[in-house]
Amino acid sequence: MSLSAFSVILKQNQLVGNNYVDWKRNLMFVLIAEKLDFVLEEECLEEPTETIGKSKRAAYDKWIAADKMTRCYNLASMSNVLQQKLESQETSYDILESLKGMFGHQSRRTRFEAIRTLQNIRMKPGMPVKDHMLTMIAYFNVAENLGATID
C-alpha cells in the first residue's frame, strides 16, 4: 500500500476521544502493513556501546527508526489537543498506554454492548438465515477483538 493510502485511513479515522476502539484497530492495520507493530510488542534494546558488534547496533537503530515512524502515525492520527498532551511521551508504546488509560473504558463498554446484543438477538420473521448468521458473527468478532473469551 502507498503512504497516501495509509494517510487516508488515518485521516478518516482520526482519534477524537469517543472513537478510540475504531481508531486503534485502524492504526494497528496500518502498523502491521508497514511492519512497524513489533515496537509495541518488543522492548527497546539498550543502546549498544562502541565495543558491541554492528549487528546489535543495527537492531537498535532499526527499533529506534520504527518507533519514530510509529509515533508519527500515532500523533498524526489524533486531534490537536491529544497531540499536544501526548507528544512528550518517549515511545509509541507509552502513547498507546496513556490513551488506553484515558479511553480504555470505551472498549469495555463496547465489549459489554456486543455481548448483550448477542444474548438478546432474535431472528426476525422472513429474514434469511444467512443474514442472521452474518450479523451474529459480526458481534462475536467485535466481542472477541475487544478481549472477550467466548466458549
* End-to-end Cα, the chain, rounded Å: 36
pLDDT digits (tens, 9 = 90+) for 7-64: 777 778 788 877 787 788 888 888 888 898 888 888 777 777 776 677 788 888 888 8
CB-CB neighbours of 82 under 10 Å: 21
pLDDT at residue number 20: 80
- β-strand partners of 89: none
Q: Whole-prediction pTM value? A: 0.66
Distance (Å, whole) CA 25 – CA 98: 16
pLDDT tens sequence across 67-104: 999 998 888 888 888 888 888 988 888 998 888 888 87
